[in-house]
């Protein structure tokens, strides 16, 4: 294939760093050089993938993903260390989560080995887009879609695994400043038995309306309650939620309706290693009223402190967060220190490229 053959030459010709304003990265797409693509028929075996120039992909208007939402995505990040080398954070976790999500969505998944290899290849081919240490990261977006044409409701006859990347900075426009959340009790993100626990694309389309209304009113994001009791915290549009009271940190348990975040899982371990008591259980909305601190976690949002939460017209402010709450700050520093290779990785979470 011509693209593969041209890859090394292109590398040699390209300058070490892309020409970008590294000081002002947000969470918006920056087109990079290459994307990875592999295909799979009904037999479930993916082709050997290839690197292609980043750009549009051809799909039948009748593709399963376009008509019935048969699609899944992942999100992970690559950081540049101060010595210039690149670190991935827990990529096998994303590979495993894709296998579980693909099963729920009736899709074959790439093996953990193929996923890892594809992620590494894509990052290395786009190395010049990994921001300098401290300026952001390279966001890696693996996609698994039902790309084959299908008319009746059924799994597509062909699947495509794509990975593209984009340099990113902070997810929220507030940067590292505390965000303002509003609790939504008319819309729900997911219901028991549904797909809330996997990273299917439709989970994100379904939150757009509530999110838009919230943003129009000046909120940063929406926090959802469970669909059965309308009482227990679920998650925000693209992140998990944690509530701090004294030395105890609570977060909704993974019971099928919320996404098992890799940052969520990492923060639980980091917090426990620092002596906090972490509880995974149903967390009621009333607990927010008496909390010391609240924060959100996710690959994209990292650890985002919450400054206020509005529920049924009443607003609770987290005073400690006018700066940034001490627990949020401590966990943010520990997590990003590991991700950027500034702290010793005793957990073996990072993969050096």
Which listed range, 154-162, 222-230, 294-302, 339-347, lies at the site for ligand COI (CB under 6 A)? 294-302
Q: Does 68 bind ligand COI (CB under 6 A)?
A: no
- Give min distance, CB of 315 to ligand COI, in A: 26
Which listed range, 55-63, 113-121, 190-198, 295-303, lies at the site for ligand COI (CB under 6 A)? 295-303
**Strand (E) positions, the chain?**
34-40, 50-53, 71-73, 76-80, 86-89, 137-146, 159-168, 179-184, 221-225, 233-236, 240-245, 248-251, 277-280, 293-298, 302-311, 314-317, 350-352
| Comparison of 109 and 150: residue with beta carbon closer to ligand COI | 109
**Strand (E) positions, 191-273?**
221-225, 233-236, 240-245, 248-251
| Comparison of 211 and 310: residue with beta carbon closer to ligand COI | 211
Considering only residues 233 through 252, tell me which ones interact with ligand COI, judged by CB under 6 A.
Answer: 238
Q: Does 256 bind ligand COI (CB under 6 A)?
A: no
- Among 120, 204, 215, 255, the residue binding ligand COI under the rule CB under 6 A is 204
Given the residues 10, 199, 231, 245, select the one marked as catalytic.
199
Based on the residue annotation, tell me whether 314 is a catalytic residue of this protein.
no
Residue nearest to ligand COI (CB): 75
Q: Give 168's contacts (C-beta < 8 A, 6+ positions apart).
A: 25, 26, 27, 28, 77, 136, 137, 138, 139, 300
Helix, strand or coil for residue 7?
helix
- Give min distance, CB of 220 to ligand COI, in A: 13
Strand-strand pairing, 302-311 and 179-184 = parallel
CA dist., res. 109 & res. 50, Å (int): 17
Considering only residues 74 through 133, tell me which ones interact with ligand COI, judged by CB under 6 A.
Answer: 75
- Give min distance, CB of 204 to ligand COI, in A: 6
Residue 248 CB: number of other CB atoms within 10 A? 13
Q: Which residues bind ligand COI (CB under 6 A)?
A: 75, 204, 238, 298-300
Active site residues: 199
């Amino acid at each position: 294939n011509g693209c593969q053959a041209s890859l090394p030459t292109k590398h040699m010709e390209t300058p070490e760093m892309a020409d970008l304003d590294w000081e002002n990265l947000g969470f918006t797409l920056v087109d990079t050089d290459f994307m990875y693509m592999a295909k799979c028929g009904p037999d479930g075996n993916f082709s050997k993938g290839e690197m292609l120039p980043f750009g549009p992909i051809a799909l039948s208007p009748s593709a399963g993903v376009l008509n019935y939402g048969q699609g899944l995505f992942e999100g992970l990040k690559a950081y540049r260390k101060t010595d210039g080398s690149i670190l991935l954070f827990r990529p096998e976790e994303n590979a495993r989560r894709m296998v579980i999500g693909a099963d729920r969505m009736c899709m074959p998944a790439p093996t953990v080995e193929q996923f890892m290899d594809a992620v590494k290849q894509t990052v290395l081919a786009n190395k010049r887009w990994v921001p300098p240490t401290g300026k952001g990261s390279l966001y890696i977006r693996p996609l698994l879609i039902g790309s084959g044409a299908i008319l009746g409701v059924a799994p597509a006859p062909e699947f495509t695994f794509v990975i593209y990347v984009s340099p990113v900075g902070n997810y929220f426009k507030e940067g590292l400043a505390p965000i303002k959340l509003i609790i939504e009790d008319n819309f729900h993100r997911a219901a028991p038995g549904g797909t809330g626990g996997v990273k299917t694309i439709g989970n994100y389309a379904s939150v757009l309306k509530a999110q838009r209304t919230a943003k129009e009113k000046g909120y940063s994001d929406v926090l959802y309650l469970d669909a059965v009791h309308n009482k227990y915290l679920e998650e925000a549009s693209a992140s998990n939620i944690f509530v701090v009271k004294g030395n105890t940190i609570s977060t909704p348990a993974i019971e099928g309706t919320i996404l098992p975040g890799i940052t969520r899982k990492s923060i639980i371990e980091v917090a426990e290693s620092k002596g906090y008591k972490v509880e995974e259980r149903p967390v009621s909305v009333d607990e927010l009223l008496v909390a010391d601190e609240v924060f959100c976690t996710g690959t994209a949002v990292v650890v985002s402190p919450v400054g206020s939460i509005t529920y049924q017209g009443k607003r609770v402010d987290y005073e400690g967060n006018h700066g940034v709450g001490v627990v949020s700050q401590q966990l943010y520093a520990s997590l990003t220190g590991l991700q950027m290779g500034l702290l010793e990785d005793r957990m073996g979470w990072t993969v050096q490229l």
